[in-house]
Amino acid sequence: MAITGSRSSTSQAGGIAIRAVPQRQSLVTAVVEQLTRQVRSGAAAPGTRLPAESELSRLFDVSRTVVREAVARLKADGLVETLPGQGLFVCNPGPGSGVLRLRPPEGDATRIAAELLEFRAGLEVDSARLAALRRTPADMRLLRRSFARLEAVQSEGGSGAEEDVAFHLQIARASHNTYIIQVLEFLSPSMHIAISQSREMDALRGEYLVRAHEEHAAIFAAIMAGGPEHAVLAMRAHLQAGQARLLSAHSISSRGSK
């Protein structure tokens, strides 16, 4: 793969020619477009192992967050896949792949995060309902482990954004609906950014963590008990409350900056 390590030169790293991303472009989109061209053209054949996230970040000269979201989009398109313990590999795209295209809205970060919560609402409410109906013993073990990690990091005073996203993704996987899983995996980098922003707002940080924990606990209990109606109510309440907290914190922050 040939990947640029600087803005003016091109280096070789496995067969794909990649130029560093011009700052004026949308960084995520530019990374996605370059990798997509290489895969579609055959420069990166199915089975090719791509560099690790940290290496892609260095070669593209962008942040790891940009690389993570770009990879998530490529996964949603069926162009790459992660093999546990082995790394990121190019897939052999089948018929109907590459149809998911979501362009993030531009503008205020709080509005963008609020729109993401609105979009997640219908998807995740049904995800929780299906998880309560379909969760297997293995799903329940994984969900219990995910919830325990979320509790632990919050009790230690950590952000918990990564564990929060992982908990929601585990619920999606317990739904056993391929489309729900793929869409939430695709959205996970944006979810991580939005949750991090919300949790780092000092004005409501204490209340956020307490309320979010109570809401997660209610969702967890409903799914573990196999109660789809309660799972629907708990997830809907959580996402609505999250949007209200986000807007309230933004309002307080705006007043304080005047």
pLDDT per residue as tens, the chain (258 positions): 544 443 444 545 555 666 665 554 488 888 998 898 888 877 888 889 999 989 999 999 999 999 999 999 898 888 898 888 888 999 875 544 555 555 655 666 667 777 877 888 889 999 999 999 999 999 999 999 999 999 998 888 777 888 999 999 999 999 999 999 988 988 888 888 777 777 666 445 677 778 888 999 999 999 999 999 999 999 999 988 888 877 776 565 555 555
Cα four-point dihedral sign 161, 129, 246, 148: negative
Which tokens go with 139? 């799903």
Q: Where are the domains of the chain?
A: 2-90, 109-256
Pick the CATH number of 2-90 from 3.65.10.10, 3.40.50.740, 1.10.10.10, 3.30.720.200: 1.10.10.10
Answer yes or no: are the C-beta atoms of 235 and 219 closer than 8 Å. yes
pTM over 0.85, yes/no: no
- 166: nearest Cα among 141, 191, 194, 183: 191
- 54: nearest Cα among 15, 88, 91: 88
Largest CA distance in the chain: 58
Tell me how far apart the alpha carbons of residues 146 and 128 are, in angstroms, rounded to a whole number. 15
- The CATH classification number of 109-256 equals 1.20.120.530
The CA–CA distances, whole Å, from 92 to 70, 72, 222, 230 equal: 18, 17, 39, 41
- Does 109-256 match 2-90 at the fold level? no
